[in-house]
């Protein structure tokens, strides 16, 4: 039987709420953060286009188990629409496919917004990660194929007109659910206003439960990255101690894994109860505020996330246990 290789990197767990700069892809961002922290494992919660900037929550270690909960959280985007042109990618990267000399009046824009709030039907962009017949839509689009992408249901909590700096641009802010394409919003609004439109600037400012105060930039991360200290040697020049990096300043920028689960009931357990959970056994929840029934809940021990599970007749039953708890 083949021997399992030793894991590379540190067993660090938590969230880095990365302020992704324009021009960097989401996969590239994850690789950069993983390298900076020398982490065993990393992953992101929701792709952000290379031309977009802003919040890209990156999970390290055990926090990767909580990625689906952040993926389901509401997102807030600030974006600028350029009127007068529709583009193949629905942003600045693509070629112009439609154009118009018409420009929308502010009142016309405001009158349109209610049609884009609530639960709506939206067709994703041709250049998107949607799978058509087992292939990504953007791969087919790059090969010159025009594919029929079916509309799907998305939820828009709010869509506000923030500013109209000139007659060619409008700045919006949208709060939306999972699977919403802001590029599609720009395209569809442009069509409805009879002037066409595409995204000229896009920034994700929030991904629930994280807030803008949680953001950390690449510059801040690189400034906290520890250089390798010099080797300690004897008078004869022989190495005595191999140098070890001090990741303390960098690790201070990591948010606790449990922060991703603020949306669900959380109950603190005793050491004895925690031991039972680690063994995969259910425990009876005690305390005035302990839930009696819950489809999803999590438990903590000594202030750290221990497990995600459900509550049935006052018993917490674990589904996923965190080794760092």
Supply the residues annotated as catalytic: 49
Neighbours of 315 (CB within 10 A): 14
Work out whether strand 266-268 and strand 294-301 pair parallel, antiparallel, or are unpaired.
parallel
DSSP string, 239-302: EEE------HHHHTTPBPGGGGGTTS-EEE--HHHHHHHHTT--EE--STT--S-EEEEEEEET
3-state secondary structure 76-91: EEEEEEEECEEECCCE
DSSP string, 209-225: TB-GGG-B-HHHHHHHP
User: Which backbone phi and psi does 171 adopt, to 5 degrees?
Assistant: -110, 130
CB 41 within 8 A of CB 64: yes
45 alpha carbon, distance to own chain's centre: 3
Show the tokens assigned to 105: 């009046």
CB 59 within 8 A of CB 45: yes
User: Which backbone phi and psi does 251 adopt, to 5 degrees?
Assistant: -65, -25
Residue whose entry in the numeric block shows the structure tokens 């140098």? 243
């Amino acid at each position: 039987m083949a021997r399992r290789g030793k894991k590379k990197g540190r067993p660090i767990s938590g969230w880095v709420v990365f302020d992704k700069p324009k021009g960097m892809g989401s996969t590239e961002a994850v690789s950069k953060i993983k390298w900076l922290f020398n982490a065993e494992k990393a992953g992101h919660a929701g792709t952000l286009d290379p031309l977009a900037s802003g919040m890209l929550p990156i999970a390290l270690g055990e926090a990767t188990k909580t990625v689906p909960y952040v993926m389901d959280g509401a997102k807030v985007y600030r974006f600028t629409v350029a009127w007068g042109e529709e583009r193949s990618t629905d942003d600045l990267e693509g070629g112009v496919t439609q154009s118009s000399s018409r420009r929308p009046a502010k009142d016309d824009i405001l009158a349109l917004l209610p049609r884009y709030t609530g639960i709506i039907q939206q067709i994703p962009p041709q250049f998107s990660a949607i799978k058509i017949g087992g292939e990504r839509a953007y791969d087919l689009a790059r090969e010159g194929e025009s594919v029929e992408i079916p509309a799907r249901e998305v939820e828009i909590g709010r869509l506000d007109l923030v500013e109209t700096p000139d007659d060619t641009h409008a700045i919006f802010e949208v709060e939306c659910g999972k699977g919403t394409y802001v590029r599609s919003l720009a395209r569809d609004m442009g069509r409805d206003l009879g002037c066409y439109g595409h995204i000229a600037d896009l920034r994700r400012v929030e991904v629930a439960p994280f807030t803008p105060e949680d953001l950390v930039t690449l510059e801040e991360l690189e400034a906290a990255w520890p250089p390798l200290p010099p080797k300690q040697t004897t008078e004869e020049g022989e190495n005595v101690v191999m140098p070890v990096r001090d990741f303390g300043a960098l690790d201070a920028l990591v948010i606790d894994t449990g922060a991703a689960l603020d949306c669900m009931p959380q109950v603190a357990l005793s050491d004895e109860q925690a031991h039972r959970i680690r063994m995969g056994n259910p425990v009876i929840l005690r305390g005035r505020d302990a839930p009696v029934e819950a489809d999803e809940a999590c438990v903590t021990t000594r202030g750290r996330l221990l497990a995600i599970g459900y509550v049935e007749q006052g018993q917490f039953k674990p589904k996923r246990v965190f080794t760092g708890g």
